[in-house]
Chains A and B, each alone.
Chain A
Amino acid sequence: MTPAQIIFLITAIVTLGSALMVVTTRNMVHAALWLILSLLGVSVTFVLLEAGFLAVVQVVIYIGAIAILMIFAIMLTRGISEKEGPQINRNWPWALLISLAIFAGLAWMLSSWSGLSTQIIPLDSRVDTISQLGQALVSPNHYLIPFEVASVMLLAALIGAVIIAWDGK
């Protein structure tokens, strides 16, 4: 086995194991912390795919912003961090059925995907992936409209937050 394969296996085990812990652990704060470990695993996977920008952005957004916000919400909600209620309710057969169906659908779709059997070509280190990504985001032939729509949505969220926080004076 090459070192990259060993690192990938460790990463995959940690990512999936902590993802499992997120849904099985009874303590909410622990669940949030396991989620962070799982997200870190995803970011390491990005590194292994030589997508440094995506890896770093994964950490900035999901760990630096979203996870911290989630932990804040859990800690500031009275009593939620100690409550250890039942983990399943009576709808669990339906949930199992739906998740199995989705899993089967994804597996069926991926089994016919040609990407699984292609050989990985190591990226040329001189290729400047970030500037290519940046140009693709603002070029009209590529992703200009999704990019602008996302910006407008973020702006709307920002204005919404200001209006909610405004005391009306």
Chain B
Amino acid sequence: MGDPVALISQWLNSLLMGWGLSAGWVVVIKSIIGVVVLCTVVLILDIFLVWVERKVVARFQDRLGPNRLGPFGIIQPIADVIKLLIKEDIRPHGADKFVYNLPPIIALATVLALWAVVPLASTIVGSELDVGVLYVVAIGGIGTLGIIMAGWASNNKYALLGAFRTVALIVSYEVPLIITLLVPVILARSMGLSTIAEKQDPVWYVVIAPLAALIMFISAQAELGRAPFDLSEAESEIVAGFHIEYTGMKFGLFYAGELLHALTLSGIISVLFFGGWRGPGAEAYPLLGVIYFFIKAFIIYWAIMWLKYSLPRIRIDHMLDFNWKFLTPLALVLVMVVALLDKLMVGFPYWQYVAIMLTANIVLVLLTLNILRSRAKGEIKRVGEPRPVATPPPPSSISSTSP
């Protein structure tokens, strides 16, 4: 019970060595088994997520949600999958065959690839990459590529418009996301996700830098393309966005990728700011850590759904203004403040360090609110002024006065 993964690994070692394989091949076979097991677990979780999503949105909209198949409708996603699998696979006329079929795979594969660096427990992690944070950013870039390919290859103007919107959204909200990613990196002195989770002892980083956690949460919501940032699939304007032409399981892969992406980003936020697998007894029993990790991830996932189903969609210029004129400068100031304070407070007692960091965050929030309030006053005055819709052109007798 202590550490099942290490036990299985040792058993596999002795078994494969007994078959006469060299150490290099044993590592390769063990990695392949690890990848298959992790992907299977995550994909099965993904089927379950469909049920969670439908059930939660139903509660927010005062409905019951799926409730016919199995207890609480838990078998419903299986029926959904069967339906998607037997649907006709349509390829639009003029679509680029190869590029059209690739994006659904990329959409799901990039999200699965993120799980390679997420530490599920103190000893259960796919790869202890020392640049885990950067890896998350890099994989996000490949995901963006899949969306552009889908939009272009569909040979559909709505799809292309949706892809452009998505890329504009993702590329711009990546900026505050990456900048706030630096805050846990500065605090933990490491870019590895496992190290960041380990260093959050005894205080989670959400206490030290709550503003960073908030900015990261908002940017993650935008990265996911979820409401209020779901301009990429605004039904009333561009039908369904980049996946308009995809049918059956190809659409299913996009949908599964989107749901899993939400859970994955929630997991990464929980690792960066909420201690990941940390909790009472998690160091002695790694399996308990896995449970803590998923509880935290699902709470953040629930908050993402909460926002998604209660807020209306915002306009595209507001969205870009919010990012470039508000989130990005705030994130930049926050990183500078955290880095400076961190360097100035070398040698301070830990609790004092935490208290000063927290105070700095709160002061920053209050300052921001103050600036916003004064801006809002000016804006109200500007909007309130009477503005003529059109000024009449001066009569020709006045304009051409020649005494």
**Contact residues of A with B, CB < 8 Å?**
2-4, 29-30, 33, 36, 52-53, 56-57, 59-60, 63-65, 67-68, 71-72, 75, 81, 128-130
Contacts and interface: CB of A to CB of B under 8 A. Distances in A.
A57 B129 CA distance: 13
Interface in B116-161: 129-131, 134-135, 137-142, 144-145, 148-149, 152, 160
Interface of B: 22, 24-25, 27-28, 96, 99, 129-131, 134-135, 137-142, 144-145, 148-149, 152, 160, 167, 171, 191
Contacts of B152: 29, 71, 75, 81
A52 B130 contact: yes
Given A29-B152, A68-B167, A68-B171, A63 B134 contact: no
Contact of B142 (A29, A30, A53, A59): A59
B138 A60 contact: yes
A59 B139 CA distance: 8
B264 to A, nearest CB: 17
A58 to B, nearest CB: 8
A3 B28 contact: yes
Contacts of B140: 64
Contacts of B171: 68
Contact of B131 (A33, A36, A53): A53
Given A30-B99, A71-B148, A64 B130 contact: no
28 contacts: A2-B24, A3-B27, A4-B24, A29-B96, A30-B99, A33-B149, A36-B145, A53-B130, A53-B131, A53-B134, A56-B135, A57-B134, A57-B138, A59-B138, A59-B141, A59-B142, A60-B134, A63-B138, A63-B141, A63-B145, A68-B148, A68-B167, A71-B148, A72-B148, A75-B148, A81-B152, A128-B130, A130-B131
6 tightest CB-CB pairs across the interface, nearest first?
A64-B141, A59-B138, A3-B28, A56-B134, A60-B138, A56-B138
A61 B24 CA distance: 32
A71 B144 CA distance: 11
Contacts of B25: 3
A116 to B, nearest CB: 23
Nearest to B189: A131
A53 B96 CA distance: 35
Contact of B137 (A52, A60, A68): A60
B142 A64 contact: yes
Contacts of B27: 3
Contacts of A75: 148, 152, 160
Contacts of A129: 130
Give the secondary structure class of A's interface.
Answer: helix
A18 B344 CA distance: 50
B307 to A, nearest CB: 26
Nearest to A64: B141
Contacts of A71: 145, 148, 152
Nearest to B168: A72
B145 A67 contact: yes
Contacts of B145: 36, 63, 67-68, 71
B347 to A, nearest CB: 20
A144 to B, nearest CB: 18
Given A33-B149, A60-B141, A63-B138, 19 more contacts: A2-B22, A3-B24, A3-B25, A29-B99, A52-B129, A52-B131, A56-B131, A56-B134, A56-B138, A57-B134, A64-B141, A68-B145, A68-B167, A71-B145, A71-B148, A72-B148, A75-B152, A75-B160, A128-B130
A128 B130 CA distance: 8
B19 to A, nearest CB: 16
Nearest to A43: B138
Nearest to A62: B141
A19 B134 CA distance: 26
Contacts of B139: 59
A34 B305 CA distance: 37
A15 B139 CA distance: 19
Nearest to A6: B28
A33 B99 contact: yes
Nearest to B148: A71
